[in-house]
Amino acid sequence: MGAVEGSLWALRAMIDEGHPPVVVVTLLEELSKRHSDFVDLGPLAAEHGITVVRVRNINDPESVAAVRAEAPDFIYIVGWSQICGSDFMQLAPGRAIGYHPTALPRMRGRAVLPWTILNDEKITGGSLFWVDDGVDTGDILEQRFFHVSPRETARTLYDKHMAALDSMIRASLVGLTSGLSPRRKQDEACATYAARRRPEDGRISWAAPAKDIDRLVRAIGRPYPGAFTTYGDKRLVIWSADFTIDHDYHGLVGQIVRVSSEGFDVITGDGLLHVIDWEGEGISSLRNHTVLGQK
């Protein structure tokens, strides 16, 4: 069950390992905007003769009934934002496996890839766990750890997680088919929690230090909505940037002080942000001395 890029990686791994699922549950196509990294699992599932069930809410009676009809032995939940209710969980009691893109029990919760970069984490990981009544609290089935690079972006971190997920899915299938699947309890003393983030949280405060703005840009870039500001009354999304503390410019916070073919420079709270990749609907060019983020 899933609807994002990681769900597709998991499905491919299952097929490659010779254990395709009997049913794939995913979102109705008109709900694709729920996820900035939405991927339609239907084509790959159909290519391999796998039943596809599209739902609005997995806890709706008709959704639960559709999965029950397939009599699943195990349920993999990879890239699904809705909390599964008790009726759904009873379809495979104690045999639902969730995926979380952190080294549980650290950073349970939401938006954990952006938070990993925003918190300047040095090491993170991915976890497959047995879903219980809590949120990301179940026993660990598989786990992989890896470093977070100093210039990590949402995209590069996402790719590291996909590689880890692929490895964990394949290893877990070996364990399930052999009857050797661990259930290692999480250490509650090490648990931390990540709060939900909304697109509006990506608004840039130009009074912040240049390093912090740069980190925000890296944390919520593609495949997420991106860090943004305003240019006049237009929304301007910044996809890639770098920063410098030492500079020769004097001006207002948020002021564009240099424009070139390589991008543009903006004064921040303590330095310059050099914007490399940006886009804005209705914005064809930028001018020096414009102050961003103000109507």
Instruction: Assess whether pLDDT exceeds 70 at residue 95.
Output: yes
pTM of the model: 0.94
CATH fold of the domain at 199-279: Methionyl-tRNA Fmet Formyltransferase; Chain A, domain 2 (3.10.25)
pLDDT tens digits, one per residue of 223-271: 999 999 999 999 999 999 999 988 889 999 999 999 999 999 999 999 9
pLDDT tens digits, one per residue of 52-63: 999 999 999 999
Looking at residue 294, its pLDDT comes to: 65
Q: Break the chain into its structural domains and give their ranges.
A: 5-194, 199-279
Tell me the CATH architecture of domain 5-194: 3-Layer(aba) Sandwich (3.40)
Backbone angles phi, psi at 141, to 5 degrees: -100, -50
**Average per-residue pLDDT for the chain:** 95
pLDDT tens digits, one per residue of 177-195: 998 899 999 999 999 999 9
More confident residue, 180 or 3: 3
Looking at residue 224, its pLDDT comes to: 95
Looking at residue 246, its pLDDT comes to: 82
pLDDT tens digits, one per residue of 101-149: 999 999 999 999 999 999 999 999 999 999 999 999 999 999 999 999 9
